[in-house]
Structure 1
């Protein structure tokens, strides 16, 4: 078994780390996160200038090339400092480059992929509805009605992060009411946010505050036929393979946060003195640090295995689910122990541990709850469907 990254991948990982230290240090991430109402446009511009939006986009469309392993290295490297703000890059990567890059027409790819790679387009995701959460299909009330030259869409989405600043929303809507199974008759639309009838409202939240998550209201919004992504009525079949990518990249983000947690906890344990010496000499603190290190390495093995399988084009749904559950649960435990090690300073907004702790909590809920991911894992083992 070869667990070694290629020389090119190792170089890319170092490039990301050096860039983060120089352009997006933790102190700056704290400043960005304090302003809850301002999207970090400066961070977006820096990521654009570095060419990171082009990772995973083919060179023929102006991208950097690379596969899911490169996305994992990027997500992990950014999250060590940025935490949940890493989704400033990740949402557009999934909604725009991954979805359009896989299912877009030649014209859609030519229009959007170079703009995404250069940082000229921001994207958001519009799947979740107010009454649904994880039950995306069961709660799907947003409707697309066919008219001459396009579709008229009505409905509401929630938890659509970045939609208040995005140029486009990757929107899921039901376009057929009478189907045998509820996964049939749903379509994906490339929705311009400046279309008449689109309004957004930010949602105050616990973590990832500067990113901005929104309710999106759709009132007789016209979307032309050329903005349908893939085949109308078959959106769910298109989404399932790309969801594995999202779960793997999210798991890598959790891994990066654990890197940051361990780094800060080790440094604080060596610097903070109590009862005549550094607190790192206490066995309890040493055990906390050892636990965080073991959790980080456990998650790393599962995340890289899932990414490796997807890079080879092999089935990885089970592995992506497992990596997502394990990484999201271990990062929460790690950030909580990190906060305990820092004590009162961990609770202070002057350090990053509280930011890691708040950001990490979301990942057990979205983009799929760990309970639902466990359902999928059990079904793959032969158990009957439980929902």
Structure 2
């Protein structure tokens, strides 16, 4: 069974690798990430100029084409330098091209996908609620009521990354309170972000600082009927395939972080001297990089397998959960070892190890906690639901 990269994917990886080295070096990524109060529009513009917003969008809608594996190749290469800031590309790729591209109407695709592909439209995801966290369905308090020509949405979302600069919000809300099960009666809205009834407030956080994560407060915010995605009250069934894509994409970002960690660790170990020799001769540190390299290969194999299954139309829910779990823990552990290898410089803001650690720590929590991922894997093996 061969689920490796094709010649086309390999060629694209080389192009993306050279582009990252030239256009978004790690030194610039450190500067961008440190500026907590300013969204990096210059980075977004570079993605636009390179045509990356169009990856995964069919050419008939103004995109570059490309399958899931192509998206993962790009995600990995971007994260190698940018770390969590690569999610600036990933958010709109998921919220826009993947969501509208999969379950949007033909009219919605023709209206929005060209603007997404050309970088004219930024999107943000507004699913998580303050009272819910991982218990997304049980904690859902945001509601939408019908009105003339559309819906009025009220509620509050949290950790909506880049919402403060977004043109559209992908909002999940309850539209039927009389359902038997929590996953029923939900509707997905493609809401204009900059409108009356929407208040967006940035939050301070540990990593991915300049990207910005926000609370979104909605009070009778209007969404037209034409901006409902999928069938009203059936959103959860529609969302499941795209959630698999998101988890595989997280795996690709984490893999890119491991790439960056290993690059920096090896470079430092070949130059830094202590006790009369380069520290790359020290057995303990050699074991650390051996562990990092092994975690990288393990993550790569699992991610490519999950992406291959999705690309070929196979069920991949279990594999997407597994790759999210393994990749996030491997990336965070690799970054932690990277800090240990660099010692005091690993803790310094002058290097990237601390940035890789801070950014990868989030992926053990979101978009779903690794504890909940393990619950799902265990349930798939025939064990009773634990929550």
Question: 1: distance between equivalents of 2:217 and 2:157?
Answer: 7
**What is the deviation of 1:260?**
0.1
Q: For 1:15 and 1:117, how far apart are their aligned partners in 2?
A: 19
Shift >3 Å, 4+ stretches: none
CA offset digits 1:70-105 (Å, max 9, x no partner): 011000000000000000100000000000001111
TM-fit CA distance, 1:168: 0.2
1:33 maps to what in 2? 33
**Contact 2:347–2:353 under 8 Å retained in 1:** yes
Partner of 1:150: 150
Q: CA deviation at 1:222?
A: 1.2
Is the contact made by 2:3 and 2:308 (CA closer than 8 Å) also made in structure 1? no
Aligned to 1:252: 252
State the alpha-carbon separation in 1 of the partners of residues 279 and 323 from structure 2: 33
Is 2:316 the partner of 1:301? no
Mapped to 1, the partners of 2:89 and 2:116 lie a distance apart of: 10
Gaps of 5+ in 1: none
Residue 58 of structure 2 corresponds to 58
Secondary structure (helix, strand or coil) at the match of 1:111 reads helix
Aligned-residue offset at 1:4: 3.9
**Is residue 48 of structure 1 aligned with residue 66 of structure 2?**
no
1:212-251 matches, cutoff 5 A: 212-251=212-251
1:123 corresponds to: 123
With over 3 angstroms needed to count, the CA separation of the structure-2 counterparts of 1:103 and 1:347, relative to structure 1, is: same
Task: Give the Cα separation in 1 of the matches to 2:233 and 2:136.
Answer: 15
Q: TM-score, normalised by structure 1?
A: 0.99
Who is 1:272 aligned against?
272
Q: CA deviation at 1:5?
A: 1.7
Q: Secondary structure at the match of 2:215?
A: strand
CA distance in 1 between counterparts of 2:225 and 2:251 reads 35
Aligned to 2:311: 311
User: 1:372 aligns to what?
Assistant: 372
Q: State the distance in 2 between where 1:31 and 1:89 align.
A: 18
TM-score by length of 2: 0.99
Q: CA deviation at 1:219?
A: 1.1
- Aligned residue in 2 for 1:17: 17
Contact (CA 8 Å) 2:3, 2:305: kept in 1 or not?
no
Query: Unpaired runs of 5+ in structure 2?
Result: none
Shift of 1:277: 1.2
Deviation at 1:366, TM superposition (A): 0.1
In structure 2, what is the equivalent of residue 335 of structure 1? 335
Q: Which residue of 2 aligns with 1:110?
A: 110
Looking at structure 2, the residues matched to 237 and 3 of structure 1 have their Cα atoms a distance apart, in angstroms, of 28
Aligned length: 387
* d(CA) in 2 for partners of 1:160, 1:374: 24
Distance 1:47 1:72 in 2: 15
**Cα distance, 1:2 vs structure 2:** 2.7
Match of 2:97? Answer: 97
Change (3 A) 1:308 1:3: closer
Displacement of 1:6: 1.2
Structure 2 contact 4–304 (Cα < 8 Å) conserved: no
Query: What is the CA distance between 1:345 and its match in structure 2?
Result: 0.4
- 1:362 maps to 362
Q: CA deviation at 1:3?
A: 5.0
- C-alpha distance in structure 1 between counterparts of 2:166 and 2:239, whole Å: 20
1:56-80 deviation per Cα after TM superposition (whole angstroms, max 9, x unaligned): 1011001111111001100000000
Cα distance in structure 2, aligned partners of 1:6 and 1:221: 46
